[in-house]
Amino acid sequence: MTLAQRASQFAGKLRGRTGLYFGAALFFAFFTAFTLRFSLAIPRDHGHLRSDAAGYYIYLPGLFHYGFDGSTIDSTAMEVMGRGFSIDSASHKIVTKYTYGTALLELPFYAVAEVVTGFESMDGRTRDHFNVIAIAGIFYWTLGLLCIALALQRIWPADPVVVISVLGCIAFGTNTFFYAFRAPAYSHVYSFFLVSAALCAASRATPSGWSSLMRWVFVAANALMVVIRPVDAIAALALAGFIWVRNGSAPLTPGLLLRQLLALIVFATPQLLYWHHVHGQWVVWSYGNEGFTQWADPEWSKVLAAPMNGLLPNAPVFALVPFALWSLWYRSRWMALWLAATLLVIYSCAAWHVWHFGCSCGLRPMVQYTPFLAVGLWALFARMRERVPASFKASMVLLTLVCFVNYRVMLSVSHCFNGEHWGGGSTSIISLKPSGLEPTPKGLVTEAKIRCSLRCTTADRLSCPGRVRYRSTSLLRTSSSSIQAPVQVLVISLDVEGQ
């Protein structure tokens, strides 16, 4: 065989499944190196194992280091972790309102950190633990994208440029990247992987048969995504609907339903045991007064278009949904109706008592529904490439620009949006000057008495000063190549409303 023939054979393999695996490996390696470099620049106590993320993560150190006894966790550590969980004042038990499913998927990476760092002397919050959770986010993000590609190539085989275009839009044209890279300890990237894995398993279903392994993958992924976030039963039902639309009711046998029930019992049991241990009840609504209180008056406009975590400003590719539905209509009207029904999950977001879901980037519950968007985009891009190739190329240039801008925004955006309207909010800049000492490029010493002066900046040149609201105080410990010792800097965050 000549060299040219070998090259042609290798190129042919890269166009198929081998190419997907090879590309996924390179993608994972690149972003793993990127996330480690990014993580190392962040002080450990100000990274992604804080606030809600600590509430998901605490199951691991809580089980392996504390035995769910919080009496040895001091108040300083609680502050550092952003109070993502609490300690019962009477029983001293660790209480978190979040379920354990995210921690279960983090467990293999946590175990690596325990082995590397040493189990006996650590509390689950070392730099190694910080780094492996960052890698976990990239791993499940990459695996989820791979599952989407494998599923859709099986359903509607397409040219590699369609594959790359769809995966690029899902990875960077939505806020999925943010929850893989900037907030990898939140539940959303793990739920994204589970929905993608279930979609991949569902794509193997046929009217004539379905392998036992794929059926177990399907029911396990469904069960765990419901344990992580019970409202994602919507996604599990949508995946069953996907099978029905493609194959009829033949694959949806009583045996599959029995497997699904068994998987749900297996994955729910540890959560029930935890609730009984902490609350004395087997089933608990752990969110207290939080809930879906806006069913009759949902915040549709804000959920879709508000700059503060609205869907379209932070995941612009969702603007293609009408065109995706049109393309699906030509392939399968039932499939188009299925995707439209799936997107009704936005209603549940608009009905939540806090429609923006607190500090986040975009409408974060929609991250795990982006695999459904991928189905529509696949149909749209494949049809455009076949029928109007010139328009397809022009559209891809524009979408590349949109995705790149969105990617850059996700790298730099604050985890909390500091205003509610375009240009209406403002962020304070605090200038710190030690009393009796001149500030130097080397930083500020903690012991000095600090006098703060406030300088306001606003997008629309609002007058200043305005009303000032205190947000938080934190102590950053950082280092610089220009100095010999670490420097501690007091950071005071304020919100400013211009007059």
Total residues belonging to the chain: 499
**pLDDT at residue 53, rounded to an integer:** 85
Residue 138, domain member (yes or no): no
Helix residue spans in 118-232 (DSSP H) = 127-155, 160-172, 176-177, 188-202, 212-228
pLDDT on residue 459: 32
Residue that terminates a domain, selected from 346, 380, 412: 412
pLDDT above 90 (res 321): yes
- Nearest Cα to 407, choosing from 187, 181, 132? 181
Examine the domain organization and report whether 314 and 358 are in the same domain.
Answer: yes
Task: Based on the fold, state whether residues 366 and 461 are members of the same structural domain.
Answer: no
Alpha-carbon distance of 333 to 349, in angstroms, equals 26
Give the count of alpha carbons within 13 A of 144, CB side only: 30
**Within a domain: residue 34?**
no
Residue 176, pLDDT > 90, answer yes
User: Is 179 among the domain residues?
Assistant: yes
pLDDT-based confidence at residue 80 (cuts at 50, 70, 90):
low
Residues 373 and 454 in one domain: no
Q: In this structure, is residue 245 part of a structural domain?
A: yes
On whether residue 21 sits in a domain, the answer given is no
Lowest-confidence region among 170-184, 289-303, 419-433:
419-433
Q: Based on the domain organization, do 290 and 365 belong to the same domain?
A: yes
Instruction: Summarize pLDDT for 94-121 with one digit per residue, the tens.
Output: 889 899 999 999 999 999 988 888 766 5
Residues 319 and 187 in one domain: yes
| Residue-wise pLDDT tens digits, 233-281 | 999 999 999 999 888 888 888 999 999 999 999 999 999 999 999 888 9
Give the domain-ending residue among 384, 412, 440: 412
- Across the strands, what pairs with 453? 431
In this structure, are 391 and 243 located in the same domain? yes
CA pair distance 148, 165, nearest whole angstrom: 12
Residues 399 and 476 placed together within one structural domain of the fold: no
**Overall domain count for the chain:** 2
CB 370 within 8 A of CB 174: yes
Residues 443 and 357 in one domain: no
**More confidently predicted of 9 and 190:** 190
Report which of residues 7 and 479 the model is more confident about. Answer: 7
Q: What's the CA gap between 351 and 360, in Å, rounded?
A: 17
Say yes or no to pLDDT of 444 above 50.
Answer: no
Name, in order, each residue with C-beta under 8 angstroms of 23's C-beta and a sequence gap of 6 or more: none
Q: Give the percent of the chain with pLDDT over 70.
A: 75
Residue 52 in domain: no
Same domain, 177 and 322: yes
Query: Do 314 and 185 fall into the same domain?
Result: yes
Taking CA 403 as the corner, what is the angle to CA 401 and CA 407, rounded to the nearest 5 degrees?
115
Reduce the DSSP state of residue 379 to 3 states and report it. Answer: helix
**What gap in Å lies between CA 308 and CA 359, rounded to an integer?**
9
Quick one: the chain helix, strand, coil %, rounded to 5?
Answer: 60, 10, 30
Residue 1 lies in a domain: no
End-to-end CA gap in the chain: 77
Would you say residue 105 lies in a domain? no
What's the chain's average pLDDT?
Answer: 79
Would you state the pLDDT for residue 72? 78
Q: Which two tokens stand for residue 62?
A: 């809580």
Which pTM does this prediction carry?
A: 0.81
Q: At residue 333, does pLDDT exceed 70?
A: yes
Per-residue pLDDT at 446 exceeds 60: no
Residues 215 and 298 in one domain: yes
- Domain match, 358 and 304 both: yes
Q: Higher confidence at residue 439 or residue 280?
A: 280
State which residues form the domain around 290: 145-249+283-412
